[in-house]
């Protein structure tokens, strides 16, 4: 007779894997079930264009994982299982139509000098932000890494008040509620500087005028300058593969091509999952679902808690993203040659343009001027491509999951199968303007549309790579719903994790780690 695992986990994204690693280290027997043919969710790597060219499917930046509580605790063991990082001191830059550019590097004097090239006042503001960053970061990271329950928040508030006083505490709360544009307008005068930082808000569904979004441009800028950026050595899947090996070394298991079609529960308690072939897998202690809120509702068939079920059904997703993976004969010849040194180059010319792009995508329109995030991972990690060759990782933000029209007025198709190529051409035309001749360097191309992202990983609803808007109404204690930000659900022994659960998206494994600590007691 087979022994039931202590925990069965639906989905093999990095939050699931971190949760399974932590629990197995505390003696739990864990089994992870993944519908795709490989683990990792959005964090995986493959030769999507040509042999020898390794492309990160969706996530590329592993800085949050490298700095996470999970990695800090398990760094030695993860390294033993093959985890490798490729660091860079030139994390990101933005290029502008007037030929100018601004890059953030792991050298405060150099970065400040670049800012001074746009504005003396902004350089002074940057210097002050740099000076304050250690204290500010401590407070901000304490919030982002804290469980979202009343006891934890009360303790955190008390500690913050004792350190910063009532004025400082209120200032922090105000900052956490500000929009990117509000904070940038109050801090800088140069439109180029503002646009360089505002581009990071678009990564997390924070268009310039969305409340609560200021913290992300701030953290990416200051942390990029302080610590640089970390990619995965050989590909982002180094993180996924190391965690899978860690689980298996402790007696756990990760099963791919194992689609879960239901969660079994009775008398208010979950006790197992049903696979597509009808097999029931029972759990002694916990069923953990790393799924979107709507999927959780579908798997349970309802929890008899109308408020929770309604929140899962009404959970709101961000606009989607198109990915374009390119195998390159050489790097783009940017209008500023220095840009060849950076891991990311943003093509997001102005705060107003980003706001317009977001509004168009939210309205279901293909944006006329989408934001282009051009990742150059082979600059940091040459092993991603054959000698002398390169890979480009293009995120086209934003893109509607369901196409209702075209803001540019040239694409008539309203399904992604037909609209993919012309919309990708629009993105490549933009890249070509800033790096003439790029098309002539392309050896292979693979377009991934929003519906392809969702088909590969159902958590990316409509191509939403962050599994739900982080706007204030479903962030902090409201992610994914009030009273359930700690991963609990109305059903005993059923828990929710992943990017839809506090602290949300990114590669920091936050929700999986917090849940595992809650279940294991440490």
163 vs 208, higher pLDDT: 208
> By mean pLDDT, which of 140-144, 189-193, 397-401 is the weakest?
140-144
* Per-residue confidence band for 199, with pLDDT thresholds at 50, 70 and 90: very high
Q: Is the pLDDT of residue 48 over 50?
A: yes
Per DSSP, helices labelled H in 435-492 are: 450-456
DSSP letter for 84, please.
-
Residue 349 lies in a domain: no
pLDDT band per the 50, 70, 90 thresholds, residue 446: very high
Model confidence pLDDT, tens digit, residues 503-520 = 999 999 999 999 999 999
Determine the Cα–Cα distance for residues 206 and 348; give it in Å rounded to an integer. 14
Is residue 364 in some structural domain?
A: no
Question: 343 pLDDT exceeds 60?
Answer: yes
Mean pLDDT of the chain: 95
Strands 320-328, 7-10: pairing kind = unpaired
Mean of pLDDT values over 445-474? 96
Return d(Cα 235, Cα 227) in angstroms, integer: 20
- How do residues 431-445 score in pLDDT, each as one tens digit? 999 999 999 999 999
Per the model's pLDDT, the better-predicted residue between 446 and 159 turns out to be 446
Residue 375's Cβ-count burial label (10 Å; 0-12, 13-18, 19+) is buried
Q: In this structure, what token pair is assigned to residue 310?
A: 């309604």
- Does residue 40 surpass a pLDDT of 80? yes
Examine residue 425 and state whether it is found in any structural domain, yes or no. Answer: no
Residue 63 confidence (pLDDT) above 60: yes
- Read off the pLDDT of each residue in 385-405 and give the average, rounded to a whole number: 97
333: in domain: no
From 245, 295, 293, select the one nearest 273 (Cα to Cα): 295
Nearest to 265 by CA among 506, 500, 492, 469: 492
**Residue at 63 is within a domain:** yes
Q: Is residue 40 part of a domain?
A: yes
pLDDT value at position 424?
A: 98
Q: What's the whole-number mean pLDDT along residues 347-372? A: 98
In this prediction, residues 34-38 reach a mean pLDDT of: 97
pLDDT grade for 135, boundaries at 50, 70 and 90: confident
Does a structural domain hold residue 187? no
**Is residue 196 pLDDT above 80, yes or no?**
yes
Residue numbers of the domain that contains 11: 7-46+56-85+235-315+468-520
Average pLDDT score over residue span 72-95? 98
pLDDT for 166: 78
What distances in angstroms separate CA 433 from CA 98, 472, 507, one per listed residue? 11, 36, 32
Which pLDDT score is estimated for 169?
Answer: 75
Domains of the chain: total = 1
Q: What is the pLDDT of residue 171?
A: 80
Query: Residue 241 sits in a domain of what CATH number?
Result: 3.50.50.60
Q: Is the CA virtual torsion 153, 156, 158, 163 positive or negative?
A: negative
pLDDT on residue 147: 79
Tens digits of per-residue pLDDT, 15-27? 999 999 999 999 9
Q: Tell me: the pLDDT tens digits for 476-499?
A: 899 999 999 999 999 999 999 999
**35-49: average pLDDT:** 97
In a domain, residue 35? The reply is yes
What kind and span of H or E run contains 7?
Answer: strand 7-10
pLDDT score, position 150:
65
| Residue ranges with strand state E in 181-249 | 229-232
Give the pLDDT score at 1.
Answer: 42
Give CA–CA dist 331/120, Å, rounded. 33
Cα–Cα distance for residue pair 121/516, rounded to 1 Å: 46
């Amino acid at each position: 007779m087979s022994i039931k695992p202590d925990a069965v986990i639906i989905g093999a994204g990095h939050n699931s894997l971190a949760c399974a690693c932590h629990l197995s280290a505390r003696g739990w027997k864990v089994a992870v079930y993944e519908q795709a043919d490989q683990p990792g969710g959005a964090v995986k790597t493959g030769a999507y264009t040509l042999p020898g060219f390794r492309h990160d499917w969706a996530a590329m930046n592993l800085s949050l994982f490298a700095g996470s509580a999970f990695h800090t605790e398990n760094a030695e063991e993860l390294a033993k299982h093959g985890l490798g990082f490729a660091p860079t001191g030139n994390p990101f830059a933005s290029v502008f139509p007037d030929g100018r550019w601004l890059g953030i590097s792991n050298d405060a004097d150099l970065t400040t000098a670049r800012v001074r090239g746009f504005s003396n006042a902004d350089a002074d503001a940057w210097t002050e932000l740099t000076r304050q960053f250690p204290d500010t970061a401590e407070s901000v990271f304490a919030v982002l890494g804290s469980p979202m329950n009343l006891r934890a928040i009360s303790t955190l508030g008390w500690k913050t008040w004792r350190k910063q006083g009532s004025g400082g505490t209120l200032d922090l709360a105000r900052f956490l509620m500000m929009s990117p544009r509000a904070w940038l307008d109050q801090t800088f005068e140069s439109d180029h500087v503002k646009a360089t930082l505002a581009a990071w808000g678009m990564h997390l569904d924070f268009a310039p005028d969305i409340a609560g979004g200021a913290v992300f441009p701030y953290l990416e800028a200051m942390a990029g300058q302080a610590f640089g950026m970390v990619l995965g050595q050989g590909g982002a899947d180094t993180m996924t593969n190391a965690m899978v090996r860690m689980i298996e070394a402790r007696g756990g298991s990760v099963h791919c091509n194992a689609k879960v079609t239901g969660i079994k529960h009775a008398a208010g308690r979950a006790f197992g999952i049903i696979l597509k072939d009808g097999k029931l897998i029972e759990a002694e202690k916990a069923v953990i679902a790393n799924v979107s809120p709507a999927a959780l509702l579908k798997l349970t068939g309802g929890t008899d808690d109308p408020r929770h079920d309604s929140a899962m059904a009404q959970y709101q997703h961000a606009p989607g993203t198109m990915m374009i993976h390119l195998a390159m004969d050489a790097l783009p010849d940017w209008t500023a040659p220095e840009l060849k040194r950076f891991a990311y180059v943003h093509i997001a010319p102005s705060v107003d343009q980003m706001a317009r792009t977001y509004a168009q995508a939210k309205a279901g329109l293909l944006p006329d001027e989408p934001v282009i995030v051009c990742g150059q991972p082979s600059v940091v990690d040459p092993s991603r491509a054959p000698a002398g060759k390169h890979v480009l990782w293009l995120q086209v933000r934003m893109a509607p999951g369901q196409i209702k029209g075209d803001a540019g007025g040239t694409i008539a198709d309203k399904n992604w199968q037909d609209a993919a190529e012309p919309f990708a051409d629009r993105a490549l035309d933009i890249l070509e303007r800033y790096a003439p001749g790029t098309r002539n360097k392309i050896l292979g191309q693979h377009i991934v549309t929003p519906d392809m992202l969702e088909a590969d990983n159902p958590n990316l609803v409509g191509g939403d790579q962050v599994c739900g808007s982080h706007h204030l109404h479903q962030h902090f204690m409201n992610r994914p719903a009030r009273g359930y930000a700690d991963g609990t659900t109305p059903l005993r022994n059923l828990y929710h994790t992943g990017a839809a659960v506090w602290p949300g998206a990114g590669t920091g494994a936050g929700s999986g780690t917090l849940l595992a600590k809650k279940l294991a007691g440490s």
